[in-house]
Amino acid sequence: MPADIEFMPTRRRTVPGRVSILINNYNYGRHVAGAARSALDQTYRDIEVIVIDDGSTDDSMARLAELSDPRLSIFSQPNGGQASAYNSGWRMASGQWMLFLDSDDLLDPDVIERAVASWHADVVKVQFALRVIDGSGRPTGALHPPELEDRGCDQQVLKYGLYAGPPGSGNLFDAAFVDTVMPITPESVFQSGADAWCILMAPFFGQIHSLDGPGGSYRVDRPAGVDALRIIGNINAQASSNLCKTLDCTAYVFDALRRHGRISALRPSLPSPPMLRTWAIARLEGDLPVGVTPWGGAPGISTVCRSVLGWRAYSMKKKLAYLAYLAVCLYLPRGIAKHTVRSVSRAVAH
């Protein structure tokens, strides 16, 4: 039987050498047991796996009940969103290192061992790319992200509110750093996107190290009937909502970094290329929020060029291709832009 959540203001203890893998789950019964197995099957043996079920109404708990391992703990709580699940898992963790694993993602068996072995002084995060898989677990051949950067990431965050790093499942954090910046507040703002909290703050507290090669799998489950305009990169629904959510989350991360005395900036100076991609999709869908960003209803050509050309993770060839894509999406008449993007998407697919 799963245990109920007992509120604690902070963590109880830290066990040297232990890794805590914290799985947040909401209605991913078809995947969560696989995520837990991938965590338990690590070649690094001193691990604990903590599943926080955030009020699932599907068969998640039944699927988890089929697992039996003394290193596995399962807790249930009323639905409160991803940040609430992150905070609960953190409070219960005892590891020297922590990884927040999404319940539809998978870890390679040796990734924790590789990450711990690569650790050195002043590192707060070891990151690794993830293979993209579809809803059935089939590899798509892509990596997320296709590029990683681990130098000057603090300056990238100040400039863009982002750097080229993996989503939550691709990051092993030093627990001392996590203890410094947790809990995530306010939980209501980070009901999704909670992984941004530690990811964006990490470069201001120490070094980041990247592993060679992927270390797990990232699931992109494309809904039936969703066309190419709504699936570019990892955006799969309501780009306008994604845009507003990202802006809100970034603002709270910047506020937290100011409270910790790490920055003085109020917000990033430029939209990141992924932010511009979200903006472009929102425009193609006819759902672009008006006046929700410091750059106005549509970013100027100068802003777009400075953003893309300054994004260090991209090669010059990719920068030029990205500029062409954004020029089509943001500045051509919407009907022509949609037709162009669909045509290019079909040509690339075949």
pLDDT digits (tens, 9 = 90+) for 12-50: 789 999 999 999 999 999 999 999 999 999 999 999 999
Alpha-carbon distance 93 to 125, whole Å? 17
- pTM for this entry: 0.91
Model pLDDT for residues 52-86, shown as the tens digit of each residue? 999 999 999 999 999 999 999 999 999 999 999 99
Alpha helix ranges (H) inside 106-163 = 111-117, 153-160
Model pLDDT for residues 238-288, shown as the tens digit of each residue? 677 778 888 899 999 999 999 999 999 999 999 999 888 888 888 888 877
Average pLDDT, rounded, for the chain: 89
User: What are the structure tokens assigned to 290, written together?
Assistant: 């008006």
Give the pLDDT score at 297: 59
Closest CA to 216 of 142, 146, 140, 132: 132
User: What are the structure tokens assigned to 1, written together?
Assistant: 């039987």
Contact between 32 and 23 (Cβ < 8 Å): yes
Q: How many CB atoms lie within 10 A of CB 195?
A: 24
Res 102 pLDDT > 80 = yes
Give the pLDDT score at 293: 62
Res 225 pLDDT > 60 = no
Q: How many CB atoms lie within 10 A of CB 43?
A: 11
Res 308 pLDDT > 50 = yes
DSSP string spanning 173-213? EEHHHHHHHPSPS-TTTTSS-TTHHHHHHGGGTSEEEE-SS
Q: Look at 35-44, 90-99, 197-206, 331-340 and tell me which has the smallest mean pLDDT.
A: 331-340
Domains in the chain (CATH in brackets) are: 3-219 (3.90.550.10), 228-349 (no CATH)
Q: Look at 121-125, 166-170, 241-245, 323-327 and tell me which has the smallest mean pLDDT.
A: 241-245
Contact between 73 and 92 (Cβ < 8 Å): yes
